[in-house]
Amino acid sequence: MAESIVFMGVAGCGKSSLASAVAADAGLPLVEGDDFHPRSNLEKMSAGVALTDADRVDWLETLGEQLRAHPDGVVLTCSALKRAYRDTLRAASPGLRFVFLDISRDDAQRRVAGRGSAHFFSANLVDNQFATLESPVGEQHVLRVDAVAPLADLRREVSAWLRKESTT
């Protein structure tokens, strides 16, 4: 099985932008985790209601299926806020790598608010995301990056890390 990578972090950290760039560099397909939320989750988030662990169970299982469906590797975006969520994904793809886009609450709030009403995620949920976040720093196969660094710098940092990781 080829290596797969999850780009994770709170809303507004830049998962989609960085994942898209790295997927293009690596020649891997990109799977946007948000595209697999059931309608009920999207409606809750749009209404400013935080998801519970129970709300995320089926979604995480579906993302695990996506990882298994790409045995040659895939780049996946997923908040993966708790260790248990990451472990669910790891069970579907042994050796799974995670890139944690670390961002301050103020920067995340500003970015999410800047999306406007076109995006389903309500800006008032940012605080809940930070309350839920269990930092993955220290877990195996995790790279922490500064989410507000320039995209080109992040792209180089992640690509270098992936090259190094593939030899270990």
Q: What is the DSSP string of 11-29?
A: TTS-HHHHHHHHHHHHT--
Per-residue pLDDT at 117: 53
Q: Which two tokens stand for residue 116?
A: 């406007």
pLDDT profile of the chain (168 residues), mean per 10? 86 92 95 91 81 91 96 95 96 95 92 62 75 95 97 96 82
Per-residue pLDDT at 49: 83
Q: Which two tokens stand for residue 159?
A: 């690509």
Per-residue pLDDT at 48: 77
Edge-first strand order for the sheet with 5-8 is 30-32, 75-77, 5-8, 97-102, 142-146
**What domains, with CATH codes, occur in the chain?**
5-165 (3.40.50.300)
Put simply, whether the predicted model's pTM sits higher than 0.85 gets the answer yes
Per-residue pLDDT at 29: 97
Per-residue pLDDT at 83: 97
Per-residue pLDDT at 64: 96
Per-residue pLDDT at 3: 84
Per-residue pLDDT at 1: 39
